[in-house]
Amino acid sequence: MKLEIYQVDAFSKHAFGGNPAAVVPLTEWLTDAQLQNIAAENNLSETAYFVPRGDGYELRWFTPDVEVDLCGHATLAAAWVLIHMLPGAPDVLRFATRSGELRVTRTGDELAMDFPAKRPVRCEPPSGLLSALGIEHAEVFATDDYIVLVDDEAQVAALTPDFARLKGLPKRGIAVTAKSTRFDFVSRWFGPNVGINEDPVTGSAHTSLAPFWAERLGTSQLSAEQGGKRRGQLRCELKGDRVIISGEAVLYLHGTIYL
């Protein structure tokens, strides 16, 4: 069996920026074991698979270790492949996922993803969280992830977490964020629980970060940058209980999988 595979750098205008995701178009689903093995072989933070269904697509995402409920950058990458590499893509892409229906619309060079918003609630940091991040004091909030609010963006850039100590905390991952002078906010995201020590750009984390910063900054439209050594840029717009997350993407690789 031969399968096409694309590697797309999402949330970047240029190769080697943003967050790389593999995209594998399918006509029918492979077994879960095959999907997981391909993702492990790719060894990227996410591999996305889609299958046409009616007027839309079923979409699933896998890290090298597990299937996940939501992934923003791999959704962006899958939409880019459908629009730019495969014929007949509709103007509005509809994806059936484990997080419900997701829609992606092309706006110029950007792709805009319509995701459910999640509003963080302040919480007590679990034992070991802040020390594993190398942070003495910070406010901590919770949704699917812990959100750790620090004083300035330099502190975010300088983080060197102890990933072994972060693994096993009772949330999907940890987003550390601060107000920025260049963007509205910056962040980094760490997810050893799902096999990703650091994800360069995490679209799904911005379903929480956008409402979090919209409330603090008093605006529904936000610019953001995420990452450490490798970084990507996003635009977020809060619309009620939805977040529109927009960004660009670029193709890095097109190849063939042999099974």
Query: Which candidate in 46, 153, 225, 248 is catalytic?
Result: 46
Q: What is the rounded distance in angstroms from the CA atom of residue 188 to the CA atom of residue 200?
A: 7
Encoding tokens for residue 20? 């790389």
Going by their DSSP bridges, the two strands 139-142 and 121-123 should be labelled as antiparallel
Instruction: Please say if 46 is a catalytic residue.
Output: yes
- The residues, any chain, with a CB within 8 Å of residue 153's CB and separated by 6 or more, are 178, 179, 180, 181, 182, 186
Long-range CB contacts (< 8 A, 24+ apart) of 155-161? 156/186, 156/187, 156/188, 157/186, 157/228, 159/133, 159/134, 159/135, 159/188, 159/228, 160/134, 161/132, 161/133, 161/134, 161/190, 161/197, 161/198
- Looking at the annotation, which residues are catalytic? 46
